[in-house]
């Protein structure tokens, strides 16, 4: 496997690209252009869960949803709320 040497200039360039990408994401979020409602597949990708787990979250009321026609939508703010409410506190959080 060939070896590549990374210089400080390479790292500086990567840092600038990363910062620009983060600024772009944060500006989209603050301007409200990010999606508010996600489809099931997007929620599964976001939370790294299976279709069965997502269905269990719907059935037991863990994750609220809206059904329009045959498509199920989830409010991203509700997903954040559920994640925050179920956060496990440790001694390190104090």
Mean pLDDT of the residues in the chain: 88
Using 50, 70 and 90 to split pLDDT, how confident is the model at 93? low
Extents of the domains making up the chain: 37-87
What's the whole-number mean pLDDT along residues 39-60?
94
Using 50, 70 and 90 to split pLDDT, how confident is the model at 30? low
Q: Which of 33, 76, 40 is nearest to 57 (CA)?
A: 40
Alpha helix segments (H runs only) across 1-94: 8-31, 40-47, 51-59, 76-85
Q: Which of 84, 91, 83 is nearest to 49 (CA)?
A: 83
């Amino acid at each position: 496997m060939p070896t590549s040497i990374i210089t400080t200039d390479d790292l500086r360039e990567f840092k600038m690209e990363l910062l620009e990408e983060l600024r772009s994401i944060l500006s989209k979020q603050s301007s409200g252009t990010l999606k508010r409602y996600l489809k099931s597949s997007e929620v599964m990708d976001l939370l790294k869960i299976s279709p069965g787990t997502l269905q269990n979250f719907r059935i037991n009321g863990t994750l609220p949803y809206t059904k329009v026609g045959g498509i199920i939508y989830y409010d991203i703010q509700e997903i954040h709320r559920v994640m925050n409410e179920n956060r496990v506190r440790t001694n390190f959080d104090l």
